[in-house]
Amino acid sequence: MAQNITAHRGSIIDGRTTPHDGYRVSHVIRKRIEEANGWIKELGGTAQTKFSGLPRVDWMFTFKAAAYTRTRLT
């Protein structure tokens, strides 16, 4: 959960949580996950699935995730 310091009502994350290393590390990891999800949805074309049925949709997601991994490696 991100700290929201711009809202008029304040944030539920106070100063006791933010200085810890784990808080910063979790944001880095979350950003990496969200970048992958964004790529898979936008460039991979899974924002709207073209298949029906869980096995086919699962295969499509796995294939697109592998393609994303491939693009990161090159």
Q: How many domains does the chain have?
A: 1
Q: Which of 74, 72, 44 is nearest to 60 (CA)?
A: 44
Domain membership of residue 65 (yes or no) is: yes
Per-residue pLDDT reduced to its tens digit, 1-26: 677 677 677 777 777 777 888 888 88
Per-residue pLDDT reduced to its tens digit, 29-67: 989 999 999 999 998 888 888 889 999 999 999 999 999
Instruction: Give the pLDDT score at 16.
Output: 78
Q: What is the pTM of this model?
A: 0.64
Residues 6 or more apart whose CB falls under 8 angstroms from that of 14 comprise: none
What's the domain range around 42?
A: 21-73
Domain membership of residue 57 (yes or no) is: yes
Domain membership of residue 1 (yes or no) is: no
